[in-house]
Chain A
């Protein structure tokens, strides 16, 4: 089971409240989008969930267990996968080495991780072509694929992605979102997607939260929100 539940999370950063009593929930098998303008707290939410930021208040529950005090690297072993903003691949390592680093939490199971590698190459043939190349030489789209694949290598129960479409050409964005949809539909992967492109995300996800200034402003089913004028307002303010 991979329920994620964030309750009343408050995170301060440089004196300001990046997250203010935030509460969101992602149930097992759901595809949820986290939207909002920049500075609303989307990235902070993911970072707090992975353990990169300590909250001042509130709790994080995963699979029913309180992980608020659990160290970041241990959360990965519990099944929380995170594709960070800006991809953050290791440019000096080869594509294959990047993928292998993703298996760190499963390093004791050699045979299985070798199989995962093959599966990943099947899913992303372009990565297979370049598997001995230094990751720094990949194009933006390929790097994004690598980042997603790398996170998948740890066999996460929930995958969190931070603005994966950033800087990618529309066609590549489409390709990547198709993969995500497949992953969700075929393998039942729970997904929490942070995106700035709201309409796109709403077409993929089942449910969405729209954050503003560190807390939830709007929430609901995607099909209801997709035509809701409040979504545009969250980004561009009210027409006066």
Chain B
């Protein structure tokens, strides 16, 4: 099986090289037809569509942000180019750069306006903004050419004059290839991982220290920049800019290409658009049927191939467990230092004092004081509804306290959850929150995001700074995986591994954030005996290195071997605290779990 994929890989690489060569050679081929400009234009338009689809892919496919305004951004880019070139006499190349900048600014403004909007409403906002933008340019009078649009855009020659059709074509192809590389470099970096993290689970991403608003802004800004550029190129090719470019109806075609090729994949946009272009070309005689056929393809894709072509291929390749033999000596290369820095064993890391949290009339947490110390495994148990999870949420600031204080390393804990995460507490939730469609290795790497000291531009251009940081992170991630016995699974989609392995992976990812305090919410649920042993030894290793591991558990048997100290909570209060053995025998604890014996008379 592996060799089949290796062979397929080589085939795909060869195919890509061939495809690119063909694209560049196309003008020569076109010359042999009666109407070379016509054919060149078809491919050019397909390229613009591909660029726009790439930008849609980044924001929707990878970022999970619904945008119905990408055609509008494209239109703004085109108008920016047109106005600068025709009305202000700017150089064409500079104007093209500006079309990208304008696209980005437009996108940023919209995000800033809609920070509070949930997913659906954000989409609606983009729809409304799109309509407003179209209407605005129509009413722009002299500046925008009003309803008729802005004419007279000439493609800039190199170094000056007017560009020939062939040169324009080559430029467009080159820019498309550059955009693909930009997409690839961004996605295969910390930026891309964070983007996907936000898409999969905003809560988990926050728990890993990613600021959702800031990052969404960056994603949309990049997407807008590419869409603006596509618009500038389009207007340059067509020679004019007009409001209709922004019409959402035109945009539906991009959705077809995106979903057919595979939303959330690198090659998907290009493959999809290429296919749509081919289909478009073959049905060119019957224009009215075009929409029907494209609509049917879109619907069909959703039903038969919801992941798209590339997506389905990737799922079959990376979605099922493939064993990879660990080469002898491979694991030895990765040395991991898990000692937590700057703490002494027994030091109080997190302290809750008289914490109270009310929900309406319910006293979920009713005055709890507890200390969490370095190097300890601290268990928290209690019957259902006792307030354990609420307590932890209060400590990690997912909930605001009604009263009481929380001190982290001696200072008042921050109010925002992602800041708390950055300050040394990492939480693993009860329900698996892995980034399912992301690879195992990438899941772990996302945890290391805070140590990435490079920015967007480093990622795009693969600067030495980026490369150094990346190889260091990858080495550490692999070391962590080997600690959990999961070396060899790096490329698998996290959703495809067994439940127990997912648990371990989550813990590993949390450890990658270099926490001082690791909070695990019922990690043993659903694990086999073997998996529980792996988890136990992992936790012991972490605690030995100085970490405070907080375990909220129902499986008290699991805790018995592991915990140094156990706090028992019932009805929002601490009812017992001590070693596991002491707690097990405590009458109050037994009562809390098994119930009061007094009712026997009443119920007789």
Contacts and interface: CB of A to CB of B under 8 A. Distances in A.
Interface of A: 14-18, 37-39, 140, 163, 166-167, 170, 174, 177-178, 181, 196-201, 203-204, 231-232, 235-240
- Point out which of A15, A201, A238, A239 has the most chain B C-beta atoms below 10 A from its C-beta: A15
A240 B560 contact: yes
B557 interface: yes
Contact of B522 (A14, A15, A39): A39
Given A196-B384, A237-B556, A240-B560, A16 B525 contact: yes
Interface residues of B, number: 36
Nearest to A214: B526
B530 interface: no
B602 to A, nearest CB: 6
A73 to B, nearest CB: 25
Given A38-B384, A232-B590, A200 B526 contact: no
Given A39-B522, A237-B555, A238-B557, 10 more contacts: A14-B431, A16-B500, A39-B525, A39-B554, A174-B603, A178-B602, A200-B599, A203-B603, A237-B557, A240-B581
B596 A236 contact: no
Contacts of B584: 236-237, 239
25 contacts: A14-B432, A14-B526, A15-B499, A16-B499, A18-B526, A39-B522, A39-B526, A39-B555, A170-B596, A196-B383, A196-B593, A197-B595, A197-B596, A199-B596, A200-B599, A235-B556, A235-B594, A236-B557, A236-B593, A237-B556, A237-B559, A237-B560, A238-B560, A239-B581, A240-B560
B116 interface: no
B499 A236 contact: no
B471 interface: no
Given A181-B603, A237-B557, A199 B595 contact: yes
Contacts of A38: 384, 522, 554
Interface of B: 362, 383-385, 431-432, 498-500, 502, 522, 525-527, 554-561, 581, 584-585, 589-590, 593-597, 599-600, 602-603
A232 B594 CA distance: 7
B384 A199 contact: no
Contacts of A200: 595-596, 599
B65 to A, nearest CB: 26
B499 A166 contact: no
B499 A167 contact: no
Contact of A15 (B502, B556, B599, B602): B502
B385 A167 contact: yes
Contacts of B557: 236-238
Contacts of B558: 237
Contacts of B432: 14-15
Nearest to A200: B595
Contact of A37 (B526, B555, B600, B603): B555
A41 B33 CA distance: 71
Contacts of B554: 37-39
A166 B595 contact: no
Contacts of B522: 38-39
Contacts of A16: 499-500, 525-527
Nearest to B601: A203
A18 B502 CA distance: 16
A174 B602 contact: yes
A237 B558 CA distance: 8
A167 B558 CA distance: 26
Contacts of A167: 362, 385
Contacts of A199: 594-597
Contacts of A166: 384-385
A196 B589 CA distance: 13
A164 B589 CA distance: 21
A178 to B, nearest CB: 7
B492 to A, nearest CB: 13
B24 to A, nearest CB: 47
A218 to B, nearest CB: 14
A177 B526 contact: no
Contacts of B594: 197-199, 231-232, 235
Contacts of B362: 140, 167
A151 B561 CA distance: 43
Contact of B585 (A15, A201, A239): A239
Contacts of A237: 555-560, 584
A177 to B, nearest CB: 6
- Point out which of A201, A204, A235, A237 has the most chain B C-beta atoms below 10 A from its C-beta: A235
A235 B527 CA distance: 17
Contact of A14 (B499, B581, B603): B499
A211 to B, nearest CB: 12
Contacts of A197: 383, 593-596
A14 B499 CA distance: 7
A203 B385 CA distance: 22
A101 B131 CA distance: 43
Contact of A203 (B502, B555, B561, B600): B600
Given A167-B385, A200-B595, A236 B603 contact: no
A203 B604 CA distance: 8
Contacts of A17: 526
Contacts of B500: 16
Nearest to A213: B526
- Point out which of B432, B559, B593 has the most chain A C-beta atoms below 10 A from its C-beta: B593
Contacts of B431: 14
Closest 8 CB pairs of A and B: A16-B526, A237-B557, A197-B595, A15-B499, A16-B499, A38-B554, A200-B595, A199-B595
Contacts of A203: 599-600, 603
- Point out which of B362, B556, B593, B594 has the most chain A C-beta atoms below 10 A from its C-beta: B594
